[in-house]
Chains A and B, each alone.
Chain A
């Protein structure tokens, strides 16, 4: 019960982190949040696995999802920096890049319906979806 509450705390913290001022910074802040959420999910997975709460199949499934998310996040960040360096400004320039990242890193229904897997990945999922939201609600449209 306590563990479930703590797992729910992580996504909540993401929502409370606030929105940066401009779309460029909002995109980069969202990307950094995803990186941190992935790092936490890895540590929690190791802990669950070492105590026998996670079997090999689910552990590898989580690792695969986190690997994909990390690859998508690196690509996203590079695209954001390239767009900024090309002189693009405004949320309308960065929203398609953010939406592309959310699509790239989207978790399958199979992952989302497995509670023991998705509980660990919930904060990562919230961080991913928070990227588009942060860009859309940033100033400087």
Chain B
């Protein structure tokens, strides 16, 4: 594999890991209502992003 591509993919995954850590830590103090609201919004965005992924 092209080293530039490998670095690019590695950075993407690392970036997602960081986003994930922040998300998990950030959610630990939320109320149930806030968790529902957050997850509802994320799922709606995920549905749109999945459509975009299929359209690629």
In the complex, A107 Cα to B5 Cα: how many Å?
Answer: 29
Does residue A28 face the partner (Cβ distance < 8 Å to B)? yes
Residue from A2, A29, A36, A51 having most chain B Cβ neighbours under 10 A: A36
Taking CB atoms and an 8 Å cut-off, the chain A residues in 1-40 that contact chain B are 2-3, 6-7, 9-10, 13-14, 17-18, 20, 24-25, 28-29, 31-33, 35-40
Chain A contact-residue range equals 35 or more
A121–B16 Cα distance when bound, in Å, is: 13
Partner of A3, one of B6, B20, B35, B50: B6
CB < 8 Å neighbour of B53 from A32, A40, A59: A59
Instruction: Establish whether residues B46 and A70, one from each chain, have CB atoms under 8 Å apart when the complex forms.
Output: yes
Q: Are B42 and A32 in contact (CB under 8 A)?
A: yes
Q: Which residues of chain A in 60-82 are interfacial with respect to chain B, using CB atoms and an 8 Å cutoff?
A: 60, 62-63, 66-67, 70, 73-74, 77, 81
Does any Cβ of B come within 8 Å of A48's Cβ? Answer: yes
Q: Judging by beta carbons under 8 Å apart, are B27 and A32 in contact? A: yes
Contact B8 A51 (CB under 8 A): yes
